[in-house]
Chains A and B, each alone.
Chain A
């Protein structure tokens, strides 16, 4: 089912292009699908990007290049060197700078005619409506469930379209929510998965080009909404598998019983999305498993003392190749069927990268009858910080 793109009503402020702008946008202007009319719509459009990371990078670059008159950038993070593998708005010189500032500098150098407003803040229920109200289209390039539900609900409450994209490893999803008569995120997923059942991006990894492709599709859908051309992704979920290099699409239907966009909505104001998603505090859900722990320094001194400790590494083999503590490798997923490799009489210290997977391993092994087992607090990352800085962090 293809839905003809409905133009988003941008209040016309500008009614002409300068001579320089006509030259700059000439490849748009000579296409009848854009033309002077479409380019003026772009100039009058105000688009808010939630997140200036992987998806936000191609979004910001292409929307700025296309001449979208006003871009808002929301992010609270600072650039770090692990971002550079995919967040192509940033350069090595930006490491340590706020992402909104670094992105604004890059986008302004690309196009100084457009207005760029930065919001160096975390999107919350308390500020979302205020932030969104002056923009025509909201583009969701965040990385966690609470913010995704928040963006969705705020868009529905304000009647603004939400150009949605998400990625995981080498798979992406793109659609447009919140269009008039179109479905919303809650129509697709009424409830978030409980924390822990879906791995986070930091655990899962992401192929650097993938957000480039998915964010570019979001940019294309945003521009189509502004100029009102073509068939939009409203009502269609585009699935992209980069490894198989396959695009598929699924039908999305508006749920008449949807609590936020249905015929009798029960959700009429923003809620606490961390509570809704079962996450309190920061986005990386702390493991709610409590198991006996040992700090890296304690473990080091016990090893130095000659204690007979069995180091169990529950990461994946490809992670072991990056760095290791000479532990015995059994990936968490294989632990149930390889438990016989462990000796219940020996003292075991389990570790992973950050301490989360190994907490699950310790919990599992304790339930399986192991008593002398400890979790290395903070994992190999903490080991690198506190004991041996020659161990690389990843």
Chain B
């Protein structure tokens, strides 16, 4: 069973309107790499031009921020859930 990647609402237009997708992967970075391979338009929203994860995009493995694990090298196992959590600001208007 592969890893599930949860795609947040603001990024769904760039991911074929999907709310999640599953990929085989050994690390968080690999799961995200496979995601952007399938949905090319997502790449610029998640990664800088030199391939680094953008600073305003937070990635969680299950309920833990990967910045406090092994970042993109964090190993994943079958059934893990990788969540992309971008900042959203709406509320007043």
Contact = CB atoms under 8 A, between A and B. Distances in A.
A53 B92 contact: yes
Given A199-B10, A250-B65, A333-B14, A189 B87 contact: yes
* Band of interface residues on A: 35 or more
Instruction: Tell me the interface secondary structure of chain B in the complex.
Output: mixed
Q: Max chain B CB contacts within 10 Å: which of A51, A239, A250?
A: A250
A370 B65 CA distance: 44
A193 B56 contact: yes
Interface string B65-93: 10010000000000000010111111111
B55 to A, nearest CB: 5
B8 to A, nearest CB: 7
Contact of A53 (B58, B64, B93): B93
Nearest to A215: B91
Interface stretch (A166-174, A317-325, A347-355, A376-384): A166-174
A244 B89 CA distance: 21
Given A188-B58, A250-B63, A51 B91 contact: yes
B9 A169 contact: yes
Contacts of A52: 92
A250 B68 CA distance: 13
A346 interface: no
B87 A145 contact: yes
A202 B92 CA distance: 11
Given A169-B9, A170-B9, A142 B91 contact: yes
A268 B16 CA distance: 44
Nearest to B45: A197
Contact of A251 (B55, B64, B90, B92): B64
B93 to A, nearest CB: 5
A372 B68 CA distance: 52
B43 to A, nearest CB: 12
B19 interface: yes
A198 B92 contact: no
A168 B10 contact: yes
Nearest to B14: A333
A182 interface: no
Nearest to A239: B85
* Band of interface residues on B: 20 to 34
B65 A141 contact: no
A211 interface: yes
Nearest to A82: B93
A171 B88 contact: yes
Interface in B29-71: 41, 45, 54-56, 58, 60, 63-65, 68
A173 B88 contact: yes
Given A197-B45, A249-B63, A250-B60, A142 B92 contact: yes
Nearest to A141: B91
B91 A165 contact: yes
Nearest to A197: B45
A384 B45 CA distance: 34
A245 to B, nearest CB: 13
B55 A190 contact: yes
Given A53-B93, A143-B89, A253-B65, A189 B56 contact: yes
B24 interface: no
Contacts of A202: 93
Contacts of A168: 9-10, 88, 90
A56 interface: yes
B47 to A, nearest CB: 12
Contacts of B83: 239, 248, 250
Nearest to B44: A197
Given A189-B56, A193-B87, A253-B68, A51 B92 contact: yes
25 contacts: A50-B92, A53-B91, A54-B91, A77-B92, A83-B93, A143-B90, A143-B91, A166-B87, A166-B88, A166-B91, A167-B91, A168-B10, A168-B90, A171-B9, A188-B58, A189-B56, A190-B56, A198-B10, A201-B93, A202-B93, A204-B90, A239-B83, A244-B19, A250-B60, A253-B68
Given A54-B93, A169-B10, A199-B10, 8 more contacts: A142-B89, A168-B90, A170-B9, A193-B54, A201-B89, A201-B90, A201-B93, A211-B91
Q: Closest 7 A-B residue pairs measured CB to CB?
A: A51-B92, A143-B92, A53-B92, A201-B90, A168-B88, A55-B91, A171-B9
